[in-house]
Amino acid sequence: MSATLCPASAILSTVTSMTSSTASALTVHQTARPTGFPTPGHFRFVESPVPEPGPGTALVENLYWSVDPYHREMMDGHFELNSPLEGRTLGRVIESRDAALPEGEIVFHRHGWRTHSVVRPDEARRLPHHEGVPLSAHLGILGGTGLTAYVGLTRIAQLREGEDLFVSAAAGGVGTATGRLARLMGAGRLVGSAGTPAKVAFLKEQVGYDEAFDYHAGNVADLLATAAPDGIDVFVDNVGGEHLAAAIGALRERGRVVRVGTVGQYNTPDAPDTRFNHADIVEKSLRMEGFLVRNYRDVQEELYAFAVPHLLGGRLALDETVVEGFDRIVDAFLSMLRGGNTGKMLVKRS
Ligand SMILES: NC(=O)c1ccc[n+]([C@@H]2O[C@H](COP(=O)([O-])OP(=O)(O)OC[C@H]3O[C@@H](n4cnc5c(N)ncnc54)[C@H](OP(=O)(O)O)[C@@H]3O)[C@@H](O)[C@H]2O)c1
């Protein structure tokens, strides 16, 4: 499933200078710290000459960019103001001064949010050639998104065949990957929550969820009790708050909570967190564990070995929303924070 967003006119006001000249590069800077949801006014596009690679580096023309919820967290302090932003990116080496990065090679790197990047070999990973696998998959199901879902299921939940799962933000990148991988791993009943009725239908009709609900339709605990009347074994949590409290109530004995992220709180960090029943953790012998995918890079080859045959065999589909044009990267990011994506939110060079 692949969708395309409509242009948002607001973003055009942030583009201070933009030409189609191949001799110029564009970079996005953060210009101010947001309170609550960021706006286009917190960003600026900066035009400069295309950088030249020095010895031991290569110039990459970027082709796909990932916009991620963690960028919102970084905007609160980790991203330096008025400096190029970072981000996960795929690009083609167009000029090289290091034999480890040959011209024409497609690489993954983190110097994103810019049209051109200069990278060292230790900053770029050459992508494996899997004939028939679309390039965008390397930022989605085969990239950090899919790896997060795979690690969550295999290393943190240690999912066993037949176990019942609940996934929050189920229609997003990690959520769709979790549902599809769990189904292939032999999970039992799959229940997901998402922000619109259209996403609920998509989860049930296309991703393979048995049941899903719109979390705006009522109290999450009640909605979950209806969707999973016999309880769940595993909760993969992308949201936190009310979802987490509801899932702890629904977990069976020896259930596991996989804490992936807290996207429900990134724009409202001061909001009081929903309380969960601490006694449940003891009385049902529950385990809650968080993780960062960057600490599981050694699982990447295992993910390829599992997912690529399923992709090529048509048993695993790509869920992505692709926004065309680097000048719409801020638009894509802001839209993702408000649920404008189905599957992984990507930006493609036009
Ligand atoms: N631990 C790690 O290493 C790691 C790695 C990657 C991602 N993550 C985390 O995984 C989660 C999902 O990331 P992703 O990249 O796949 O993003 P995503 O789910 O594709 O996009 C974010 C989604 O969050 C949902 N959302 C926004 N505000 C919400 C709220 N208040 N309550 C419930 N849902 C809300 C929106 O969907 P709706 O329309 O359904 O609201 C939106 O589509 C995030 O928490 C992220 O930080 C963690």
Residue nearest to atom 37 of ligand 1 (CA): 339
Q: Answer yes or no: is pLDDT of 15 > 70.
A: no
Q: What is the overall mean pLDDT for the chain? A: 93
- Res 271: pLDDT: 73
State the pTM of this model: 0.94
- If you search the block for the tokens 């980790």, which residue do you land on? 78
| Residue 120, amino acid | R
- Answer yes or no: is pLDDT of 5 > 50: no
Check residues 17 and 187 and name the one with the higher pLDDT: 187
CB 226 within 8 A of CB 214: no
- For residues 29-41, average pLDDT: 96
| CB proximity list for 213: less than 8 A, separation 6 or greater | 191, 193, 200, 223, 224, 226, 227
Residue to mutate (ligand 1; options 174, 203, 274; most atoms within 8 A of CB): 174
Give the position, in ligand 1's atom list, of the atom nearest the Cα of 340: 43
Distance 80 CA to ligand 1 centre (A): 23
Distance 265 CA to ligand 1 centre (A): 10
Which residues are near ligand 1 (CB < 6 Å)? Answer: 68-70, 144-145, 148, 169, 171-175, 194-196, 199, 238-239, 260-264, 291-293, 336, 339, 341, 344-345
- Determine the residue of 238, 289, 320, 345 to mutate for testing ligand 1's pocket, defined as the one with the most ligand atoms within 8 A of the Cβ atom: 238
Helix axes 144-151, 300-312, angle to 10 degrees: 100
Whether residue 343 is predicted with pLDDT greater than 50 in this model: the reply is yes
| Orientation angle between helical segments 173-184 and 300-312, nearest 10 degrees | 80
| pLDDT at residue 22, rounded to an integer | 54
57-97: pLDDT as tens digits: 999 999 999 999 999 999 999 999 999 999 999 999 999 99
- Residue 7: pLDDT band by 50, 70, 90 thresholds? very low
Instruction: Tell me the domains of the chain and their CATH numbers.
Output: 9-139+319-348 (3.90.180.10), 144-294 (3.40.50.720)
> Residue 266 C-alpha to ligand 1 middle, in angstroms?
10
The tens digit of pLDDT for each residue in 162-200 reads: 999 999 999 999 999 999 999 999 999 999 999 999 999
**What's the CA dihedral at 338, 342, 343, 349 to 10 degrees?**
-80
Residues pairing with 60 in the sheet: 93, 117
What's the gap in Å between 192 CA and the centre of ligand 1? 13
- Specify the 3-state DSSP secondary structure of 6: coil
Q: List CB contacts of 247: < 8 A, sequence separation 6 or more.
A: 166, 168, 224, 232, 235, 237, 257
Give the tens place of pLDDT for each residue, 256-285: 999 999 999 889 877 767 789 999 999 999
Helices 173-184 and 144-151: crossing angle, nearest 10°? 50
Q: Is the CB of residue 30 less than 8 Å from the CB of residue 42?
A: yes
Rounded Cα distance, 254 and 122, in Å: 42
141-155 confidence digits (pLDDT tens): 999 999 999 999 999
Residue 38 in tokens: 């960021």
Helices (H), the chain: 69-74, 144-151, 173-184, 197-202, 220-227, 242-250, 278-283, 300-312, 329-337
CA of 304 to the centre of ligand 1 (A): 23
